[in-house]
Structure 1
Amino acid sequence: MSLPFNVAAHLSTSLRAAADQAGLAGRGFDPEVRVADPAHGDFQANGALAFAKREKLNPRALAQQVVDQLGALQASFDITLAGPGFINFRLKPAALLAWLQTHASEDQLRAGASAAHAGQTWVVDYSSPNTAKQMHVGHLRSAVIGEAICRLLAFTGAKVIRDNHLGDWGTQFGKLIYGYKRWVDEAALLSEPIEELERVYKLGHAATPDDSPELEEARRELVKLQSGDPQNVALWKKFSDVSLAAFQQIYDRLGIVFDHNLGESFYNDKVERIYRELAETGLAEVSEGALVVFHPEHPRYAKQPFLIRKADGASNYASTDLATALYRVEHFAADGIVVVTDFRQGDHFEQLFLTAKKWFAAKGYRVPELHHVTFGAVTGEDGKALKTRDGGVIKLKALLDEAEERAYALVSAKSPDLPEAERREIARAVGVGSVQYADLAQNRSSNYVFAWDKMLALDGNTAPYLLYAVTRVRSIFRKADLDPAAPPTTGASAPESAQELTLARKLVQFADAIQVAGTQLRPHFLCLYLFELAGAYSAFYAADKVIVDDPSVRARRLLLCHRTLLTLETGLRLLGLRTLERM
């Protein structure tokens, strides 16, 4: 009776086989299995309706033909027909118990989920700040969403390469070097390096207005850098090193470690090949002195050129981004590439991916899956861009500091008897986790409102609510003096009460949440699942005492507690959050 991790996928395979046995082989029957309304079952197959309409058959009769071939599933499911051909599946209590007993550790959950991307290599490009500038609130979403996507892809079997495509080249470095040579404060550079670089850049920018001799001097500094002048190259490397060190302090707090920090500068010597091959394949043409690509089959880009090389011969984002895509295919052998940026870059990446796919196909290169993962803006409660009180951009470091301080005040009010060091540790996990989760719980395509009171609330779909749910499960094992990693669940009977059954069914649906979030690259589906799981556990906890005298009942309730703890902690880690023993 043991079932695989992904019950929906198992049902899909069984339904296709049943359709073949019913004489539908080779006719494209798609079961369309999805999580059902609990009133009807655990899973529902809707494919009979579309197939019957296409084949001009009676959908209910067709569905019955398929059900008649599902005898092997009868041991695990109650199978019913509803309406014009919906096939409903409800797991039997014994099957629920068998699934829970089989999937007993994070390694076992991962093994079950790994089929989705097994053997594949995915490069995820996210965060990507500009060097010599502080990270601000606008960098939050790319970093948080990108990291969650990396973890979801890795959990579902992919080899994931994290690449931080830094903005580390361009005209601004001429002004920065100009300002640095005149106004740098060496003591400030040691204590607050990136803040000092930002200060001297602003001075350099202000001192080099258009058409001024000072601007010409800044341009000469840039030309010296681009020509390999040792002094300017050494300064540029210094800017990169101090920037990366400052960025890593933020990444450490968010649980992010990049495999590579290959910025725009890395691809400078690789763009000539792009121009040559796009011309050779007939994809690029010269228009008004510039090298461009048109996509005549596309309604928007038939007459809107994709600029590959400027008329003055200079490269741009398009040329370096194409070089980046090629490098990832050739050097990393990428089967998939994900780029995480805000929605305003949508047109650029749509044209980029159209161009790359045609170019790779024409040259016989590997053509990977290409995904531009976009996201909306972070706004204040007034619906406007999130700003400081004086109208400035909120620095990401300051935002995370404030989150921790607010969380510390809440923890201290709720648990004043805990040692201060523990309260600080809890505040770090809750504060930063609240910021991460508030972002991830939203559909990434939408803007979201940044509201401290809402994101730090102990109720609702928030990090504190879920982190507290974890500690509540752990408290059961602690009070019973049991090891939560290996509770005594031998001899557990199948779930019986309404709350036990609801919780067990929700646990089985973890696979579906992972599959949807990982396939669509939308972490909010996993957030919603974890929130619903915590709610099902809360109802179970309120209704059914765990530590009871009957050994089989106690074992099954400890089993449900353990699997809930396992699933919540696994899911929160996939989102990039740290969990706690208590709070």
Structure 2
Amino acid sequence: MSVPFNFATAIEAALNQAAAQLGLDAAPFAPEVRTADARHGDFQANGVLPYAKRTKQNPRALAEQVVAALPASLTDAFEVAIAGPGFLNFTCRPATLESWLATYATEPSLREGASATQPESGQTFIVDYSSPNTAKQMHVGHLRSAVIGEAMCRLLEFGGAKVIRDNHIGDWGTGFGKLIWAYKRHLNADALAQDPLEEFERLYKLGNKTADEDESVLEDARQELVNLQSGNEENLAIWRHINEVSLAAFQKIYDQFGITFDHTLGESFYNDKVSQVYAELTDLGLAEISEGALVVFHPEHPRFSKQPFLIRKSDGAANYASTDLATILYRVEHFQADGVIYVIDSRQGDHCQQLFLTAEKWFAKTNRPLPRLEHTSFGTVLGENGKPLKTRSGENIKLRDLLAEATERAAQLVASKSANLPPAEQQAVAAIVGVGSVQYADLSQNRSSDYVFSWDKMISLEGNTAAYLLYAVARIHSIFRKLDTDPSAAAATAAATPLVTATEVTLARKLTKFPEALRATIGQLRPHTLCLYLYELAGEFSAFYNADKVAVDDAGVRARRLRLCARTLLILETGLNLLGLRTLKRM
């Protein structure tokens, strides 16, 4: 058989073929192939038992029939065993492992294999992530959306999807009236030149406090907002300047994370598009006036039966719901999106559910294709006191300060472990390790959960950390440097002999599980699945390297062990880059 990229999907296909040959059509047969406990094999199929129960058959006997009907190409590649009441275990034969290692030897070959097996391949996805508010600094609360969103983009692209990155910034709304009022009257030009976002935040706080204390100031601020929304040139110029400066400051943070957006279409972009939303939802009978506001009810939904979805305020102003609905329509009509992934924290769960329900009804009544709408929610970053991470004074920690401290702490680690590196290289390594540690500490957590931010655990060469994985990558590069060999050179591994030792086989088995880790990660949009796989792979490599010397005199043994080193390096670097991390050749 040609070497499949993902053994699990190949087994699924073979089991479905066997089921069809046996005529198992009285009830749906689902193979349910998953990675097995290593003691039992590489993959386990659990579908026989539930099918046998539904059809009142003997599961063991049915399993024997299915195995007998499997194509020879599969049984030549895998040892197949029946366990318990009909569970099927598949173990790769050594020759199958070697063929996979020989076939998937480059990043393009891995990418091609992923594109051929991922269901998202060929579809267009918009990933809506980061989305800070202009005139404010990005803080630790913006961390998760940025790093999870970027990882989602890279993973989907690797799986063959077309991905459009959209930074749906908050650049419109009532706050700008107070900000513009303060900007015109209390701007400190020197402070603006030195740190514009600090000055914008000071001005907003001043405008907000003064408006709260003085009704006439509040009225003036409202008028400034009216002037802005009416197209007053002076106010528009101030507003544009605030946004331009804000976006430039955001990009400095994004550059550290390796993030570049395709579009930055904020709330202001949809300001002239919300009227269509109001008109269509009203004309279709989906929206109605309630207490002066335009709302959509979802009486069939137990949670929202008495909680209307507010799409226009009683004063006629738009809100998040207005622009979010207009955004969905634009993304379908302009980008022909098959799916939209919203990387937004879990506290916005109700809003997203009501938004998706409303869009579903709206699109059904207008015969528009509804894209897959998915809220990729995430928990909160906590301090060691179990509360949202803040400074000692109770302020949000600025993201730029967090990354600066991470780099500083990483520099101490690098200096202690790699004092032989030139100072400039130590600084470059520290920046990659520091920022990567922040990214990886976030991505390695189940995104649905809160997690405790701990510097000691994060920037460490022990445990499931970025530093540990980056060091594993650097160590493999050092093996090839010592042997004066390029890890991508086919000649170095051409003479590889068959796998022999237990650690060689175990490492090879782990390498071939990369496609399944990738499939699970993309399918559930949960980067921590890939993180765990990479951590386990690094551990298997360490066990192999400690047990089996690479630089031996026997050319065939050296070649096969170098091939294992090269494939481990390839998958570690590919996986870390998919998560958004940069890797190192020396550390």
Same fold (TM over 0.5): yes
Q: Structure 1: how far apart are the matches of 2:452 and 2:240?
A: 38
SS at match of 1:532: helix
Preserved CA contact (<8 Å) 1:131 1:240:
yes
Q: Structure 2: how far apart are the matches of 1:156 and 1:476?
A: 31
Task: Choose from 249, 253, 261 the match for 1:250.
Answer: 253
Tell me the residue number matched to 1:185.
188
Q: Structure 1: how far apart are the matches of 2:463 and 2:382?
A: 20
Tell me the residue number matched to 1:507.
511
Tell me the residue number matched to 2:175.
172
Tell me the residue number matched to 1:346.
349
Task: Choose from 128, 135, 138 the match for 1:135.
Answer: 138
Task: Choose from 417, 421, 426 the match for 1:418.
Answer: 421
Give the partner amino acid of 1:527.
Answer: C
Preserved CA contact (<8 Å) 1:2 1:98:
no
Q: Structure 2: how far apart are the matches of 1:214 and 1:358?
A: 43
Tell me the residue number matched to 2:65.
65
Tell me the residue number matched to 2:215.
212
Greater Cα shift, 263-272 or 549-558: 549-558
CA deviations over 1:42-62 (Å, ceiling 9, x no partner)? 000000111111111111111
Structure 1 segment 134-533 matched on structure 2, within 5 A: 134-209=137-212, 212-487=215-490, 488-533=492-537
Tell me the residue number matched to 1:102.
103
Cα drift, residue 187 of structure 1: 2.3
Cα drift, residue 390 of structure 1: 2.4
Greater Cα shift, 418-427 or 202-211: 202-211
Q: Structure 2: how far apart are the matches of 1:260 and 1:361?
A: 28
Q: Structure 2: how far apart are the matches of 1:463 and 1:215?
A: 49
Preserved CA contact (<8 Å) 1:33 1:43:
yes
Gaps of 5+ in 2: none
Q: Structure 1: how far apart are the matches of 2:90 and 2:538?
A: 24
Give the partner amino acid of 1:22.
Answer: L
Cα drift, residue 311 of structure 1: 2.3
SS at match of 1:285: strand
CA deviations over 1:5-34 (Å, ceiling 9, x no partner)? 111111111100011111214742100000
Q: Would you identify which runs of 4 or more consecutive aligned residues in structure 1 move more than 6 Å?
A: none
Tell me the residue number matched to 1:566.
570
Q: Structure 2: how far apart are the matches of 1:346 and 1:65?
A: 47
Q: Structure 2: how far apart are the matches of 1:546 and 1:425?
A: 30
Q: Structure 2: how far apart are the matches of 1:26 and 1:545?
A: 55
Preserved CA contact (<8 Å) 1:176 1:201:
yes
Cα drift, residue 294 of structure 1: 1.7
Tell me the residue number matched to 1:43.
43
CA deviations over 1:151-204 (Å, ceiling 9, x no partner)? 111000111000000010111101110111112122222221111111111121
Give the partner amino acid of 2:314.
Answer: A
Preserved CA contact (<8 Å) 2:436 2:581:
yes
Q: Structure 2: how far apart are the matches of 1:280 and 1:390?
A: 51
Cα drift, residue 394 of structure 1: 0.5
Preserved CA contact (<8 Å) 1:459 1:465:
yes
Preserved CA contact (<8 Å) 2:26 2:55:
no
Preserved CA contact (<8 Å) 1:97 1:493:
no
Greater Cα shift, 542-551 or 558-567: 542-551
Cα drift, residue 295 of structure 1: 1.8
Cα drift, residue 386 of structure 1: 1.1
Give the partner amino acid of 2:54.
Answer: R
Give the partner amino acid of 2:16.
Answer: R
SS at match of 1:579: coil
Greater Cα shift, 96-105 or 488-497: 488-497
> TM-score, length-normalised on structure 1?
0.98
Give the partner amino acid of 1:256.
Answer: I
Q: Structure 2: how far apart are the matches of 1:557 and 1:144?
A: 35
CA deviations over 1:370-408 (Å, ceiling 9, x no partner)? 100111110111111211122221100000000000000
Does 2:547 align with 1:543?
A: yes
Q: Structure 2: how far apart are the matches of 1:364 and 1:14?
A: 39
Q: Structure 2: how far apart are the matches of 1:160 and 1:386?
A: 32
Cα drift, residue 211 of structure 1: 5.8
Cα drift, residue 521 of structure 1: 0.5
Preserved CA contact (<8 Å) 2:27 2:54:
no
Give the partner amino acid of 1:104.
Answer: A
Greater Cα shift, 385-394 or 34-43: 385-394
Cα drift, residue 414 of structure 1: 1.4
Greater Cα shift, 248-257 or 202-211: 202-211
Gaps of 5+ in 1: none
Give aligned-pair identity as a percent.
65
Structure 1 segment 51-130 matched on structure 2, within 5 A: 51-70=51-70, 71-115=72-116, 116=118, 117-130=120-133
Cα drift, residue 74 of structure 1: 1.5
Preserved CA contact (<8 Å) 2:19 2:66:
yes
Tell me the residue number matched to 2:9.
9
Cα drift, residue 210 of structure 1: 5.5
Q: Structure 1: how far apart are the matches of 2:334 and 2:30?
A: 37
CA deviations over 1:424-445 (Å, ceiling 9, x no partner)? 0000000000000000000001
SS at match of 2:79: strand
Q: Structure 1: how far apart are the matches of 2:488 and 2:453?
A: 36
Q: Structure 2: how far apart are the matches of 1:209 and 1:444?
A: 38
Give the partner amino acid of 1:146.
Answer: G
Q: Structure 2: how far apart are the matches of 1:533 and 1:299?
A: 45
Q: Structure 1: how far apart are the matches of 2:460 and 2:545?
A: 21
Q: Structure 2: how far apart are the matches of 1:480 and 1:198?
A: 56
Preserved CA contact (<8 Å) 1:469 1:534:
yes
SS at match of 1:44: strand
Q: Structure 1: how far apart are the matches of 2:229 and 2:296?
A: 27
Q: Structure 2: how far apart are the matches of 1:423 and 1:34?
A: 42
CA deviations over 1:341-396 (Å, ceiling 9, x no partner)? 11110000001001111211221112111100111110111111211122221100
Q: Structure 2: how far apart are the matches of 1:183 and 1:284?
A: 43
Tell me the residue number matched to 2:20.
20
Preserved CA contact (<8 Å) 1:125 1:338:
yes
CA deviations over 1:225-273 (Å, ceiling 9, x no partner)? 0100000001100000000000000000011000111001111111111
